[in-house]
A and B are shown apart, each in its own frame.
Chain A
């Protein structure tokens, strides 16, 4: 049944509903078509491929299977191993710790910048923005240099017996954490600062006047006010940290693989797309679960 096409006034335009929606639809088409073709459909194809079989030469065979997920869970011809599950778990832990450390360090940094005189505050903020926009590969590469055997850090570690003399301080878990935190710290600091700058200090002073402990001042006067910025920072850090590939590849090597490396391997050297697709699905689910837990916990913090 076609609706009667009555004339309507839409913010000054005298038009009909039909004409208005036709114009709107027309404007929607180019962008949405692009996103459909290169985002939504590829995503669905990836889901489908995760249930397919890999042919002998890395081609796709169109037979339905759950084998890729079984393999991810550790079942193979030679019995059960936890290798892949360990990598998934490790990615989750690394992303969590990276986010946590970034948050803990960002609070003092934000308060420090907010306490600078107004003129130089902008300068201090730029100091955080520059690493934020510096290419990730370059920043990871820079750690290579700092951790190389000739530098004092590796020498000190060698002296203390952590590593053999003349060896670099990578690849290992420590280097991955260093790289990850330095990579994502600005992602927390910048949005958090936006909230800290707008902080209503009278609430903090009121809490202090009422003899609240330092912890309670933070959890009840500061945290709720900075929660919007904090949430943006956590999401901006946790999600890319889960899928991070450059840092673990360069600073972790084969010893400390994360799920990003595992995915890259399947699409690169191993050419096992179905398995790669299955791992991507697992990463997707883990990311969503992580965010969901954060949302739950976030609510609890608010009531605290």
Chain B
């Protein structure tokens, strides 16, 4: 085993401390029995209990979950089909380049530009349909738009990795397109699709900017709720909410690792 230089070790520990100090700070003060200020007044779980009686927070949590699940589902289906269409057919080079460019746009532009362009277009479409009023449907559309690209990129790399021999063999044995897709391609592709969906889900849960631009009065999500609350000052309840979300993130990360490491 290679030994690390003293400086490497020191910098690494400092960096990890730098990353975790704020997070641990929030967790510690979430169980502090003091309404105001940051003086330690003893251990309590009352802020957590209060969370579950706060209707605003419960509604925001429900919206966050709804938004993440629906948009991830739509984006996973669309992205998977798109990846197959792009990878398994003999497109000419210009067509292929064009498709590639479109797919990479959401990856290489700052998300605030995507949000801004959707605000403008939805603002114009609102003149024709009330579907485009700010709210959950618009947020779902925004999330799906950037998720599709990430799902398609992940699934496409899996398509490249599994090769085409199995599909060819299935076809040689007179499998129809649909049968081949269901019984050969889909099972082989499943880990890639799950990884793509997992990425899409975390991107949705992580997003603030798109939601912030698209949200209406009844479609608060947890990040939006926290953002608004921070401007009114830090409270122990928000510490507790943040800690809870961090814990859920940790569980999700570990689950995702287990899932993709098989």
Contact = CB atoms under 8 A, between A and B. Distances in A.
B82 A46 contact: no
Given A35-B102, A133-B206, A138 B110 contact: no
Interface of A: 10-13, 20-21, 23-25, 27-28, 30-32, 34-36, 38-43, 45-46, 49, 60, 105, 108-109, 111-115, 117, 122, 126-131, 133-146, 148, 150-151, 182, 185-186, 201, 235, 239-240, 242-246, 250, 260, 263-264, 267, 273, 276-277, 280, 283-284, 287, 291
Chain A binding surface SS class: helix
Contacts of B249: 130, 133-135
Given A108-B12, A263-B116, A34 B168 contact: no
22 contacts: A11-B168, A13-B177, A24-B85, A24-B91, A35-B102, A46-B116, A108-B11, A111-B4, A126-B254, A135-B223, A138-B26, A138-B223, A138-B226, A141-B226, A142-B22, A150-B37, A235-B108, A243-B113, A250-B231, A263-B112, A277-B116, A287-B108
A199 B113 CA distance: 37
Contacts of A24: 85, 88-91
Interface string B183-227: 000000000000000000010011011001100000000110011
A259 to B, nearest CB: 9
B49 interface: no
B16 interface: yes
Contacts of A201: 2
Contacts of A139: 22-23
B251 to A, nearest CB: 10
B58 interface: no
A39 B145 contact: yes
Contacts of A39: 102, 105-106, 114, 145
B19 A186 contact: yes
A140 B22 CA distance: 9
Contact of B121 (A41, A115, A133, A142): A41
Contacts of B239: 145
A129 to B, nearest CB: 5
SS of B interface (majority): helix
Contact of B120 (A13, A137, A277): A277
A126 B206 contact: no
A140 B226 CA distance: 10
Contact of B116 (A31, A150, A267): A267
Interface of B: 1-4, 7-9, 11-12, 15-16, 18-23, 25-26, 29, 37-39, 78-79, 81-82, 84-86, 88-91, 99, 102-103, 105-106, 108-121, 123-124, 141-142, 144-145, 148-149, 152, 164, 167-172, 177, 202, 205-206, 208-209, 212-213, 222-223, 226-227, 230-231, 234, 238-239, 242, 245-246, 249-250, 252-254, 257
Given A134-B246, A243-B113, A11 B171 contact: yes
A243 B118 contact: no
B245 A138 contact: yes
Given A39-B106, A141-B26, A12 B118 contact: no
A136 B206 contact: yes
A229 B250 CA distance: 24
Contacts of A144: 230, 234
Contacts of B102: 32, 35-36, 39-40
B82 A127 contact: no
A135 B222 CA distance: 10
B113 A20 contact: no
Given A39-B106, A115-B2, A34 B213 contact: no
Given A32-B102, A42-B121, A109-B12, A129 B112 contact: no
| Complex A-B, nearest 6 residue pairs according to Cβ-Cβ distance, in ascending order | A243-B110, A12-B171, A31-B82, A24-B89, A142-B22, A27-B85
A12 B110 contact: no
Nearest to B228: A137
A129 B198 CA distance: 14
